[in-house]
């Protein structure tokens, strides 16, 4: 632990510079310089910031292939979720058996389930958001002090693929471009006083690097910190440059190949749904998001891997994940839908990679995952039947020690709004009950509260 402290360096300060005539600012992570000697709080005694996020995947699990319950609250991940096993004991809780009572309303397929989980109310049809989603309530509590109150991201290429709402007419649209997301964080304003329409070429910006632009401030900061903070800054700056190089490659034209020729123009199709594209965007967005969280640019985020009624597909095929979940016959020998299960497994492999990115960032005496809480949610327990009974969900992270981990909680048909109430109370939202009608509850899940 670095013992060096200084009054001259502010946690609020940015490393500043210009790229192509445009002002840029680069935040810095929580260094030992800013913390107490134990690395458990800020030097002023204020606790390290807690973050909240949601992660969404479409179409639930293939029945019986996500989690296997063991004795008591113990469990094991199986087939589709096996990639999460390294994080299970230390960071993850798995929730099963929680329901969404309809109180006489018709179930809007691929809609009612996630709406009930995020608003505590059953919608009266598609497009109806009966109450604010819980992420906005939490953002009101913990997000006001950061640069962005919340950040919404989608790997599918459509800004509308975001499940963050204040109301039916107040939607927080998602950022879908890793490049635009990067520039939003590191190039805050693209304006030239001489030309209101001028925007610098992002390729020039990436090649010069914001790190070069802020070199003087960066060198001054490095000179003031101890050895562990120097190592932490080196890791952070390396991650920033790797992202710039990865994004620059995506902007470059492919090399000319003798056998390459221009094909006929294909029919216009929705962009971003090939699994390869979804995974690439999800991975890059996750890396940029991790830097945003580490630098306290935001404390609340919503990440969508695939939307409800997932349109993900394998490149060169026409059947989407959603269509397969209905039309693919179960394998005669295995007894389940093999292609559908393949898509489900890709979802959790992407989540595992995101957790690996978060857990690689040191913060105080732990990692970024120790100071956050993620709510992983889906729209149905069984895509083939559109069931809203027993919809699975997970919490990930320790929320600064406020939540126990490694547990399986069987709701035994309890309303899934109990999960949402628990999340909000863990994040210090002053709320004693939540939800409407049969989803109204004042009973948080005490087993997971630390």
pLDDT tens figures, 209-218: 888 878 888 8
For the residues 86-104, what does the mean pLDDT come to? Answer: 97
Cα end-to-end span (Å), the chain: 26
Phi-psi region of 230 (alpha: psi -120 to 50; beta: other; left: phi over 0): alpha
CATH for 30-176+272-448, options being 3.40.1350, 3.30.310, 1.10.620, 3.40.720: 3.40.720
Q: Give the pLDDT band of residue 13 (cuts 50, 70, 90).
A: low
CB atoms closer than 10 angstroms to residue 324: 24
Helix, strand, coil % in the chain, rounded to nearest 5: 35, 20, 45
- Joined together, the tokens standing for residue 149 give 């109150």
Q: What integer pLDDT is reported at residue 254 of this predicted model?
A: 47
Question: Regarding beta strands 75-77 and 67-69, do their DSSP bridges make them parallel or antiparallel, or are they unpaired?
Answer: antiparallel
**pLDDT tens digit string along 333-352?**
999 999 999 999 999 999 99
Given a cut of 50, whether residue 130 has pLDDT beyond it is yes
Separation CA 5–CA 33 (nearest Å): 5
Question: What pLDDT does residue 391 have?
Answer: 96
Using CA atoms, how far apart are residues 49 and 211, in angstroms rounded to an integer?
A: 25
Is residue 122 pLDDT above 60, yes or no? yes
Task: Map residue 387 onto helix, strand or coil.
Answer: strand
Q: Is the pLDDT of residue 187 over 70?
A: no
Q: How confident is the model at residue 327 (pLDDT cuts 50, 70, 90)?
A: very high
| Average pLDDT of the residues in 140-162 | 93
Q: Which residues contact 449 (CB under 8 A, 6 or more apart)?
A: 402, 403, 404, 422, 425, 426
Model pLDDT for residues 255-291, shown as the tens digit of each residue? 444 443 333 443 333 467 999 999 999 999 999 999 8
C-alpha to C-alpha distance for 301 and 336, rounded to whole angstroms: 34
**Axis-axis angle for helices 112-119, 134-142 (nearest 10):** 30
Q: What is the pLDDT of residue 217?
A: 86
Q: What is the rounded average pLDDT of the residues 71-86?
A: 97
Q: What is the pTM of this model?
A: 0.84
Contact 117, 99 (CB under 8 A): no
Q: Is the pLDDT of residue 5 over 60?
A: no
State the average pLDDT for the chain. 86
Sign of CA dihedral 361, 365, 371, 376: positive
Phi, psi of 222 (to 5 degrees): -60, -35
């Amino acid at each position: 632990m670095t013992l060096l402290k200084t009054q001259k360096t502010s946690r609020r300060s940015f490393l500043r510079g210009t790229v192509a005539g445009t002002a840029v600012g680069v935040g810095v992570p929580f260094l030992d310089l800013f913390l107490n000697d134990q690395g458990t709080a800020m030097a002023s005694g204020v606790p390290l910031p807690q973050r909240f996020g949601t992660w969404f995947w479409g179409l639930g699990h293939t029945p019986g292939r996500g989690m296997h319950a063991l004795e008591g609250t113990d469990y094991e991940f199986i087939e589709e979720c096996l990639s999460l096993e390294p994080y299970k004991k230390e960071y993850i809780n798995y929730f099963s058996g929680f329901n969404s009572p309809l109180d006489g309303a018709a179930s809007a397929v691929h809609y009612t389930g996630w709406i009930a989980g995020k608003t505590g109310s059953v919608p009266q049809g598609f497009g109806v958001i009966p109450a604010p989603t819980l992420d906005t309530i939490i953002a009101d509590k913990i997000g006001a002090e950061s640069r962005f109150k919340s950040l919404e991201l989608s790997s599918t290429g459509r800004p509308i693929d975001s499940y963050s709402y204040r109301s039916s007419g107040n939607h927080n649209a998602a950022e879908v471009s890793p490049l635009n997301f990067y520039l939003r964080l590191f190039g805050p304003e693209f304006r030239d006083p001489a030309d209101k329409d001028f925007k610098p070429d992002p390729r020039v910006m990436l090649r010069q690097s914001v790190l070069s632009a802020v070199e003087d401030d960066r060198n001054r900061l490095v000179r003031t910190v101890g050895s562990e903070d120097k190592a932490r800054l080196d890791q952070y700056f390396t991650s920033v440059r790797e992202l710039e190089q990865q994004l620059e490659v995506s902007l470059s034209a492919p090399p000319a190949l003798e056998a390459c020729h221009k094909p006929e123009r294909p029919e216009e199709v929705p962009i971003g749904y090939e699994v390869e594209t979804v995974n690439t965007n999800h991975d890059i967005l996750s890396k940029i998001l991790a830097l945003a969280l580490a630098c306290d640019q935001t404390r609340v985020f919503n990440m969508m891997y695939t939307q409800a009624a997932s349109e993900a597909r394998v490149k060169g095929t026409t059947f989407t994940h959603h269509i397969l979940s209905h039309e693919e016959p179960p394998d005669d020998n295995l007894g389940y839908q093999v292609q559908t299960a393949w898509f489900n497994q890709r979802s959790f492999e992407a989540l595992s990679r995101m957790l690996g990115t978060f857990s690689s960032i040191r913060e105080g005496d732990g990692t970024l995952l120790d100071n956050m809480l993620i709510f992983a949610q889906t729209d149905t327990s069984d895509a083939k039947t559109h069931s809203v009974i027993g919809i699975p969900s997970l919490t990930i992270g320790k929320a600064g020690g406020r939540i126990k981990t490694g547990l399986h909680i069987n709701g035994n048909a309890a309303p899934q709004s109990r999960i949402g109430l628990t999340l909000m109370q863990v994040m210090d939202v002053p709320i004693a009950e939540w939800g409407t009608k049969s989803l109204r509850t004042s009973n948080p899940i005490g087993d997971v509260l630390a």
